[in-house]
Amino acid sequence: MSLHETIQNSAAASDFTLLEGLYQLTIAGHTNDWEFERLNKAVYERLMSSYNAPAVEKSRANAFQAI
């Protein structure tokens, strides 16, 4: 396995771990805990970093105009 494949697999495993943790806390009803907030923020930041920020802002503006 190449270094590039190892990094991709590690990132995917890390993403899965974050989402699984967030899911488990949600199922247990611990959505007001500091751990949930930390995981939620990490997942949100990763999601936003995968999109082009100006495109996201433009789509938000269009969504508000449609309302």
pLDDT of residue 14: 83
The DSSP element (H or E) to which 45 belongs, if any, is: helix 34-49
Two tokens, residue 11: 């990132």
Please tell me the pTM assigned to this model: 0.57
Q: How many helices (H) and strands (E) does the chain have?
A: 3, 0
Mind listing the pLDDT tens digit for each residue in 7-58? 455 666 688 888 888 899 999 999 999 988 998 898 888 888 887 656 555 6
pLDDT at site 49: 82
- The dihedral formed by the CA atoms of 5, 8, 14 and 18, expressed in degrees to the nearest 10: -150
